[in-house]
């Protein structure tokens, strides 16, 4: 599941801009950053348990899967759901840039799913700028990504490149006490993916959209404790946590019941497996509250 998510994240993102570059030397290194007490670029003293974040990532619906659900349901492509890639140029803090990077990554996945190759370049340019600002440019091979992302024939190569690069960047951030940025990237992707599908559900309601939105309850419950670890080292996390706590209160009304299929299957190796399926219950009024709260929080983040 974790590898599946990394593949989708990579596609969705070209993504977290964490792309291997081999001999590329743009963006500098952590040694180039002067960390000043109180500066938002300070290394985070908190380094969350990697297993905890891996569990969160494993529980994510692949971001590209969200966009594919929209496309398969006949939802037409629209740029009105997406952030303007030029908007992130106004972001001045590393906190904002990391969140923006995740958001752009989710939007890039949406563009890829709808094969809007002509618009991808603008997002890649903004992603490159953010990675350089965050001193992560060494993980971003712009020319290779541009070539791969603008050609549908190279999707498999793009996925492989991005998966390897995200894992390298995530390890780099954790080893250099910058795991707060990794957590923000994941949060940005998740918030934007939820925003996209809630916007579509508002205009074209369907059971599939409602169930997918309701399933995000468990993901947020796993993500919030990780974000709360950083509140003491970065005051920006306090407002983010407050906003997501508000969304959690709204999602808590969703009822998810797991059922186990009585039919069992015995594999050749002797292991007995059972199929499980979930039933998601959320009323029309509850769904509208989730949609409006998600929209409010996402717009706070991107403004």
Share of the chain above pLDDT 90, in %: 39
pLDDT, position 173: 79
Q: Where are the alpha helices (DSSP H) in 92-235?
A: 94-113, 117-133, 142-149, 155-175, 179-203, 207-214, 216-228
C-alpha distances in Å from residue 67, one per residue of 16, 156, 243? 17, 18, 24
Residue whose pair of structure tokens reads 């468990």 in the numeric block: 218
Give the range among 4-18, 138-152, 200-214 with minimum mean pLDDT.
4-18
If one compares 146 and 244, the residue with the highest pLDDT of the two is 244
Q: What is the pTM of this model?
A: 0.79
CB 147 within 8 A of CB 154: yes
Q: How far apart are the first and last CA of the chain?
A: 33
Structural Rg of the chain based on CA atoms: 19
Residue with the bigger pLDDT between 258 and 43: it is 258
Which band of pLDDT confidence, cut at 50, 70 and 90, is reported for residue 14? very low
Measured between alpha carbons, how far is 48 from 30 in angstroms, rounded to an integer?
Answer: 20
Question: Span 223-233, mean pLDDT?
Answer: 90
The domain ranges of the chain are: 2-302
User: What are the C-alpha distances in Å from 63 to residues 123, 213, 302?
Assistant: 16, 13, 18
Instruction: Give me the helix-helix angle, 179-203 and 207-214, nearest 10°.
Output: 150
Question: What is the mean pLDDT of the segment spanning 277-283?
Answer: 86
Residue 183 CA to residue 207 CA, distance in Å, equals 31
pLDDT digits (tens, 9 = 90+) for 38-69: 344 444 455 556 666 666 666 666 556 788 89
Residues 6 or more apart from 74 whose CB is under 8 A from it?
Answer: none
SS3 60: coil
Does residue 146 surpass a pLDDT of 80?
no
pLDDT at 263 over 80: no
What is the biggest distance separating any 2 CA atoms in the chain, rounded to whole angstroms? 61
Look at phi and psi of residue 28 and say left if phi exceeds 0, alpha if psi is from -120 to 50, else beta: left
């Amino acid at each position: 599941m974790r590898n599946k998510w990394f593949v989708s994240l990579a596609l969705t993102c070209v993504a977290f801009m964490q792309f291997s570059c081999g001999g590329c030397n743009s963006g500098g290194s952590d040694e180039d950053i002067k960390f000043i007490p109180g500066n938002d670029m300070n290394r985070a003293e908190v380094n969350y348990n990697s297993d905890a974040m891996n569990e969160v990532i494993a529980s994510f619906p692949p971001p590209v899967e969200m966009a594919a659900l929209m496309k398969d349901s006949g939802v037409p492509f629209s740029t009105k759901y997406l952030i303007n890639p030029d908007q992130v140029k106004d972001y001045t803090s590393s906190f904002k840039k990391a969140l923006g990077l995740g958001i752009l990554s989710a939007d890039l996945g949406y563009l890829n799913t709808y094969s809007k190759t002509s618009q991808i370049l603008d997002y890649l340019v903004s992603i490159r700028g953010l990675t350089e600002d965050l001193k992560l440019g060494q993980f971003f091979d712009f020319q290779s990504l541009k070539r791969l992302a603008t050609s549908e024939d190279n999707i498999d190569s793009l996925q492989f490149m991005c998966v390897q690069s995200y894992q390298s960047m995530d390890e780099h951030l954790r080893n250099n006490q910058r795991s707060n940025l990794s957590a923000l990237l994941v949060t940005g992707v998740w918030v934007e993916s939820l925003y996209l599908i809630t916007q579509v559900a508002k205009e074209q309601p369907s059971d599939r959209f409602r169930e997918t939105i309701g399933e995000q309850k468990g993901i947020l419950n796993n993500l919030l404790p990780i974000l709360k670890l950083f509140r003491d080292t970065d005051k920006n996390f306090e407002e983010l946590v407050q906003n997501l706590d508000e969304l959690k209160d709204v999602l808590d009304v969703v009822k998810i019941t797991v059922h186990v299929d009585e039919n069992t299957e015995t594999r050749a190796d002797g292991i007995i497996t059972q199929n499980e399926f979930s039933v998601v219950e959320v009323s029309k009024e509850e769904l509208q509250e989730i949609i409006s709260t998600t929209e409010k929080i996402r717009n706070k983040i991107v403004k």
